Structure 1
Amino acid sequence: MLVKNTQRKKALFLLIHVWLLSWYVPVIAQPTEKYINIRVTPEHTNWTYKPGEKARFIVSVTQSGLPVQGAKVRYAVMPEKMAAVSTGPLTLKEGKTMIDGGTMKSAGFLRCEVYAELDGKEYKGIGTAAFDPGAIKPTVENPADFTAFWNNAKADLAKVPLDARMTLLPERCTESVNVYHVNIQNFKNSRLYGILCVPKKEGKYPAILQVPGAGIRPYSGDIAKAEKGVITLQIGIHGIPVTMEKEVYDNLSAGSLAGYPTFNLDNRELYYYKRVYLGCVRAVDFLQSLPQYDGSNMGVMGGSQGGALSIVTAALDNRIKYLVSYYPALSDMTGYLHGRAGGWPHMFAGPNAALHNKKDKIETIGYYDVVNFARQVKVPGYYSWGFNDETCPPTSLYAVYNVITAPKELFVVPETGHWTFPEQHEKTDTWLISQLKGENGKQ
């Protein structure tokens, strides 16, 4: 009877684990296939142009993979996230047409949005042409005391006892991996929670810190990587346990934690992300303390907000040896104040600007913008994103990437937005694990 109950519990956990993965959008989401599909593709194979060169966009509308004859569409062309510079209606006689998008005189991204209404429902497609993205420069100010500010913050954190508490989650463990809910003392009497996965086989292992995308949610841990001989720690950032019912997180998202990226933005000492960034350092402290850790090989990875936290953690903590970052948020956020797209959470865009375009808030941003951490990254990194990202605009992503002087690789998949193909994860996972284990794949 005990064996059967255990098997049932493990089966239930696997179902929950699959559900959580399907719900966790920021890093692993993929677009679903649609009955009606609008494709907008720059004419150049690599979607990249020289400033002054004209960009044309190939547009097609298909239904069940076949061209929609006589489809009526409307289009708008603009620098990404900015006002349209050209618009118009079009009729696609053969389900396909070409739109002249014009050009850009300097480095940036030109986007074409196409809308079609069929059977009472509106569909959208976008394509984005890059103009010399390697020449994009950041707009955010780099405070003179940036390094001193964060060194002082880390010194304050170092005075706080780790006080780590680990609770084994038997229903989540596998034959080769132990899974724990972790509870660690963080900055200013807050706690840091996460899911730790440790190989059961006796030995020393490299470690990966997995930092989260935006939002409030439960976590299930990364058992798959742990089964490959790597310790994994998947953390939350909000100081709450990560094993509660989803309803709890939904209520927090709609209530007390709604809009958290701008909490205390007018004060660099109290801004919400100070505890978050230091929490990532505290997570490294915890991994470093584990007897199963090999003591020298640690990486960090994440997407969106997690992509930002990956870069931040690598810059703040030299115990991180490698990083993986997908479309990092919180990047060159002041872009909107200079007439171009800025990074998520777009606090200086549209009506948000009236609330946040103030001297004290702009000064605070300088201490937290990912650009200024990227300047200090000294370890190899693997980065990946696409040109069609409407959440983390590629202008902001290149503003970060272009200031990194450490060894770096960039895997661009132009057609992707704020999502990834499985191949992107296969490449980054393979790269990171091989780096952590050495070129021969051994510890």
Structure 2
Amino acid sequence: MPMTMLAAFFLSGGEFALAADTDPLDAIAGKALFDRNWIPAPSSTDGSDGLGPYFTARSCVSCHAGGGGAHVAPSRNDPSRDDIAGAVLRFGRADGSADPYYERQLQTDAVPGLVPEGSAHFLPELSYHLNGPPLASGVKAGVRIAPPLHGRGAFDQISDEEILKRADPDDKNGDGIRGRANRTADGIGRFGWKASQVTLEDQVADAFSLDIGLSSPKAPHPYGDCTKLQTACLGAPNGESKLFDGREISATMLRIVANYIESLKPRALQDDSAGARIFDATGCAQCHVPSLKARDGSLIPAFTDLLLHDMGSALDDGVGEPGVASSEWRTAPLIGGGNRGPRRYLHDGSAATVDEAVAKHGGEAARSREQFGALKAEDKLRLIEYVNGL
């Protein structure tokens, strides 16, 4: 099919719909990179090698099938049992420092000649095995699941001012909600479970590096999450090439993958004024703000304020990030249907339903949790249906 016909297919509501300012050919090329299964270096194909040496996925699509997120599916290692497809195990201390041997994430796969760092299962509860030394003193393990991507790319269009106007770190209005922005060295974070990345391209680069082991100008680490103690990993070949800005992924490749993600639009909001009213009355909309204003003045479906909130002990796994406490989480956007298979909720997938997720809300969200619990049965069901329809 000629490129012009491909562009017309996508623009006409084919596999994905494009934003008005998105180059259709860039988005198509970005989808090809998103779907690509990367292979170890060296290879006769420069454009596909550089995998690992340690990794948790061979492609973006393996965790984000159809642009969706983590879901329940038969375990890759044991098809007779279900597990969470698209979940990873993160390591860290409450102050955000990483493990000196395993660094930030358990890498459950490796290129030929290397032994993976370990294995993990997430259902019915977390269990994991390390093939190396035990975790260092004070280092904890926490599950992170891949979120749906539909609608997330639009957060690049939201200004710092739009985020900051809802911040109230000192709770000056006395409502118990103390949202704060994650002010990173590169700017105000918008992306990731702890708002660690400022732009969509930053997030893409971090995922390529951490999950697949591919370096880029934004994440110049040819050995991914490998540490200086992992000498076998550091001794493996890498796929860096002058064809790709001296890295395994070029700046252009990051941009077009970001363009593809920007093309993944959230499904149209349902017409449910009653559900929206209950959502607002229980206080959910204070943090899960239904829409945010873009720099051009348009409204972006969001159901997040992009701020960090202390969510209490039930959602504190002890794994912090630099400048972000282990109990703090960026308000999860509730938009983004399209998952294939049963969904899991919260950052760790520990909730199978919306009401289970709400029950774990503490800290700044405790009042909303209590208001949800006090709802009449029919109103609670209406609210759950509303959230599931976003």
Structure 2 length as normaliser, TM-score? 0.27
Instruction: Answer with 1 or 2: which has the greater Rg.
Output: 1
Q: Greater strand share, 1 or 2?
A: 1
Higher relative contact order at CA 8 Å, sep ≥6: structure 1 or structure 2? 2
